[in-house]
Homo-oligomer: A and B are copies of this chain.
Amino acid sequence: MSCKLDARDYPNNMRKIILSVAVSLDGYIEGPKGEFDWCPPPSKKEMSNFLLGIDTIFMGRKSYEMAGKSMFRDKERYVFSDTLPEKTKGIYIIRSNMLKTVSLMQQEKGKNIWLFGGASLISTFINQNMVDEMWLAFVPIILGGGKPLFENIVERKKYRLTESSVSEEYLSVKLARNTNHKK
């Protein structure tokens, strides 16, 4: 299937929030001990193409402390946290009024926004219908346990399949938010 996203879904070319993550067949983004060894790294080309399309990254506090401190320094990094100091070097902190803040950011000029994780921030965004696209890379493995990508989802969320491809290492799929869910 080659259909592309319909631009009309994004009035005024609003910046999209894209959840892009690798996931096991049984829906985990980390193994039972927090391990990632099951997850082949994306190709440099794919990764740099993806990064070209975004200029901003959203992270939870734990993800920032575990992985985000030294990564993606050329992007604007926003960390959602009530505990990190307001003036943490190199990042912006988002505390309260998150919905409004994010909505305003989406109306600014700029590239798309990568919802990096972790699971708790992802749940919040999905429950609020704030994830415009999901780019999932299924790794052909059953882990048997770990941290689920989708948890604490309070009601059904429908998406539209827009693209898929398969390599030896990944089944990649793009999904768009069902626009019947209003923000």
Chain A contact residues, CB within 8 Å of chain B: 1, 25-27, 38, 126, 136, 138, 140-145, 148-150, 153-161, 163-171, 173, 175
- Going nearest first, the 3 A-B pairs with the smallest beta carbon separation are A144-B153, A26-B150, A27-B27
Report how many copies the assembly holds.
2
Give the complex CA separation of A159 and B38 in angstroms: 12
Q: How far is the CB of A137 from chain B (nearest CB, A)?
A: 11
In the assembled complex, the Cα of A163 lies from the Cα of B1 at a distance in Å of 14
CA distance A141 to B177 in the complex (A): 10
- A142 touches which one: B145, B150, B165 (CB < 8 A)? B150
Closest to A163 in B: B166
Q: Are A159 and B143 neighbours in the complex by a CB distance under 8 Å? A: no
A138 / chain B contacts, CB cutoff of 8 Å: 173
- In the assembled complex, the Cα of A158 lies from the Cα of B156 at a distance in Å of 29
A164 in contact with B164 given A148-B26, A153-B26, A156-B141 (CB within 8 Å):
yes
What is the distance, in angstroms, from A54's C-beta to the closest C-beta of chain B? 22
Complex alpha-carbon distance, A64 and B32, angstroms: 34
Q: Which residues of B have CB within 8 Å of A163?
A: 166
Cβ contacts under 8 Å, A156 to chain B: 38, 141-144
Give the residue name and chain of the B residue nearest to A152 (CB): B144
CB of B140 within 8 A of CB of A144, answer no
CB distance from A160 to the nearest CB of B (A): 6
> Contacts A1-B167, A142-B156, A166-B173 given; 13 further ones with Cβ under 8 A?
A25-B150, A25-B159, A25-B175, A26-B148, A26-B149, A26-B153, A38-B156, A126-B142, A140-B161, A141-B157, A144-B155, A161-B166, A171-B173
